[in-house]
């Protein structure tokens, strides 16, 4: 029997998870999906994810794949998965892909969004950073323009997770205002640990008028996490899509 390589596109509310990756004695997205797959298919299943999301981070387009060595009805498997998974996880798509596809290593870029709500919100407080301050949209957009292109993002990475090469190519980055929300959109070839949240937290300091714009540009050049601003809360961050 020829093994099938199956790709999952996954949506989840990360509020009550300790992130994507399986961890001992913790509730994780990967762990919940693997547990249900194992129950349905009758054998231990392991997922390869496109990347980790931290505790509290959400996803609309997380991607994972796994190898299955038995015949299965994909629409039926998709229905069974969504029937048995907890309500904060939905499998949006299940499809067979070529054997050499890997959710992480085949990715070309990833797209994240970050939501800031100006003021309080009851309906969306699990998915936005509530800001009591007005933020300058022009200043935020200026910061987004600065990070486009290829840069070393050491200043915006958790120190203990820094790699030998902390350069990333940002294909697109921008802010827009929709009603009472400020929405940040960023696409890059890869992301460092807490990179988006560190960028957003520092940009907000510029948007509040606490940090001059040119100091933000200088932070990027300094390649020193101790020189940049605070880290934005996880709940405003969402993995929107992975491109292949």
Tokens found for residue 86: 């907890």
pLDDT at 162: 56
Mean pLDDT of 11-16: 98
Tokens found for residue 62: 């997380």
**CA nearest to 69, candidates 45, 101, 104, 103:** 45
The answer to whether 168 and 190 are in contact (CB under 8 A) is yes
Mean pLDDT of 218-243: 92
pLDDT tens digits along 81-135: 999 999 999 999 999 999 999 999 999 999 999 999 999 999 999 999 999 999 9
13, 54, 164, 189: which is the annotated catalytic residue? 54
Pairing of strands 129-131, 109-118: parallel
In the chain, the percentage of residues whose pLDDT exceeds 90 is 90
**CA nearest to 33, candidates 77, 71, 75:** 77
What is the model's pTM?
0.95
pLDDT band at 147 (very low <50, low <70, confident <90, very high): very high
pLDDT at 215: 94
Q: Give yes or no for residue 228 having a pLDDT over 90.
A: no
pLDDT at 83: 98
Q: Average model confidence (pLDDT) for the chain?
A: 95
Please tell me the distance from the alpha carbon of residue 54 to that of residue 52, in angstroms, as a whole number: 6
CA 135 to chain centre: 23
Domains in the chain (CATH in brackets) are: 4-97 (3.30.70.580), 109-243 (3.30.70.660)
Please tell me the distance from the alpha carbon of residue 19 to that of residue 31, in angstroms, as a whole number: 10
pLDDT band at 227 (very low <50, low <70, confident <90, very high): confident
Q: What is the dihedral of CA 230, 234, 236, 239, to 10 degrees?
A: 120
pLDDT band at 224 (very low <50, low <70, confident <90, very high): confident
pLDDT at 128: 98
pLDDT tens digits along 65-78: 999 999 999 999 99
Integer CA distances (angstroms), 173 to 93, 113, 140, in order: 27, 10, 10
pLDDT tens digits along 195-212: 999 999 999 999 999 999
pLDDT at 204: 97
Q: Give yes or no for residue 235 having a pLDDT over 70.
A: yes
For the chain, strand residue ranges (E) read 4-12, 48-49, 58-68, 89-97, 109-118, 129-131, 149-152, 167-178, 181-188, 237-243
Mean pLDDT of 211-227: 89
pLDDT at 159: 65
Q: Which residues pair with 242 in a beta bridge?
A: 110
Query: How many degrees, rounded to 5, is the angle at CA 144 between CA 55 and CA 171?
Result: 80
Q: Which comes out higher in pLDDT, residue 219 or 2? A: 219
pLDDT at 199: 97
The answer to whether 64 and 45 are in contact (CB under 8 A) is no
The question of whether 54 is a catalytic residue gets the answer yes
pLDDT band at 160 (very low <50, low <70, confident <90, very high): low
């Amino acid at each position: 029997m020829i093994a099938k390589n199956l790709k999952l596109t996954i949506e989840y509310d990360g509020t009550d998870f300790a992130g994507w990756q399986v961890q001992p004695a913790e509730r994780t997205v990967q762990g919940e999906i693997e547990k249900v797959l194992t129950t349905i298919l009758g054998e231990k299943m392991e997922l390869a994810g496109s990347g980790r999301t931290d505790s509290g981070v959400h996803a609309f387009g997380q991607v994972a794949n796994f190898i299955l060595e038995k015949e299965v009805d994909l629409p039926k498997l998709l229905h069974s998965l969504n029937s048995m998974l907890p309500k904060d996880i939905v499998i949006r798509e299940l499809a067979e892909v070529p054997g050499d596809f890997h959710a992480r290593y085949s990715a070309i870029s990833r797209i994240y969004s970050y939501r800031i709500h100006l003021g309080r919100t009851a309906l969306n407080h699990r998915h936005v950073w509530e800001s009591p301050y007005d933020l300058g949209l022009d200043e935020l957009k200026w910061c987004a323009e600065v990070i486009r292109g290829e840069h070393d993002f050491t200043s915006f990475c958790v120190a203990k997770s820094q790699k030998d090469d902390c350069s990333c190519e940002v294909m697109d980055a921008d802010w827009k205002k929709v009603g009472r929300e400020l929405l940040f959109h960023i696409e890059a070839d890869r992301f460092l640990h807490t990179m988006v949240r560190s960028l957003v937290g520092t940009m907000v300091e510029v948007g509040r008028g606490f940090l001059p714009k040119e100091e933000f540009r200088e932070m990027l050049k300094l390649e020193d996490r101790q020189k940049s601003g605070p880290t934005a809360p996880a709940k405003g961050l969402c993995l929107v899509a992975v491109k292949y």
